[in-house]
Amino acid sequence: MLTRIDHIGIACHDLDATVEFYRATYGFEVFHTEVNEEQGVREAMLRINGTSDGGASYLQLLEPVREDSTVAKWLAKNGEGVHHIAFGTADVDADAADIRGKGVRVLYDEPRRGSMGSRITFLHPKDCHGVLTELVTSAPVESPEH
C-alpha cells in the first residue's frame, strides 16, 4: 500500500545553484547528498517534513554526471523541471507486483538501490498518464548524512 509522497525528483543542470535557489527561496536545507553511479546522477535530498509512518517527504534534485544517463537525456529533451514523482511504500516488491498485475509496466524486474539506501523501481510513464512514477521503500533514517 502506498503511504505517502516520498519525493518529487527535479532534474537540473547545476546541482549547487539549484540547491542554493531552494535554500534561499524556501529555506529548505540539504538532508543528504550522494552520487549514484548506476543512475549517472549527483543528487541532493531536501527534507520537507516527517511522516507518521517514520518516513519523510523530500525534493530530490538530480544533476547528471554522464551524458548517457537517463536524466541527461531527459534534460536535453525537456530542460530543467519535474522529472518524476515517488510514492513511499513499506514493500516495494509487493506493490510493484500488484501494480504490474493491473497492467502497468514496471521498468525493473527487481528493485534497485536508490537514494539513502532505499529500494526502488519505476513505472512506465505511458502507463501512468505521462508521469514517470517511482515506488520507494525507504531505509531507516537515523540522522542526516552528507
Is the CB of residue 111 less than 8 Å from the CB of residue 97? Answer: no
The active-site residue out of 7, 39, 63, 83 is 7
Q: Which grid coordinates belong to 122?
A: 519505476
What's the rounded Cα separation, in Å, for the pair 146 and 142?
Answer: 13
Which of 39, 43, 63, 83 is the catalytic position?
Answer: 43
Cell (9 digits) for 111: 528493485
Indicate which residue of 39, 60, 63, 83 is catalytic: 60
DSSP assigned state of 90:
S
* Active-site pick, 32, 39, 83, 84: 84
Whether 134 is catalytic:
yes
Question: Which of 146, 137, 128, 134 lies closest to 29, judged by CA?
Answer: 146
CB of 9 closer than 8 Å to CB of 82: yes
84 is catalytic: yes
Q: Which three cell numbers stand for residue 92?
A: 516495494
Look up residue 134 and give its three cell numbers. Answer: 517511482
State how beta strands 30-36 and 41-50 pair: antiparallel
Residues carrying an active site annotation: 7, 43, 60, 84, 134
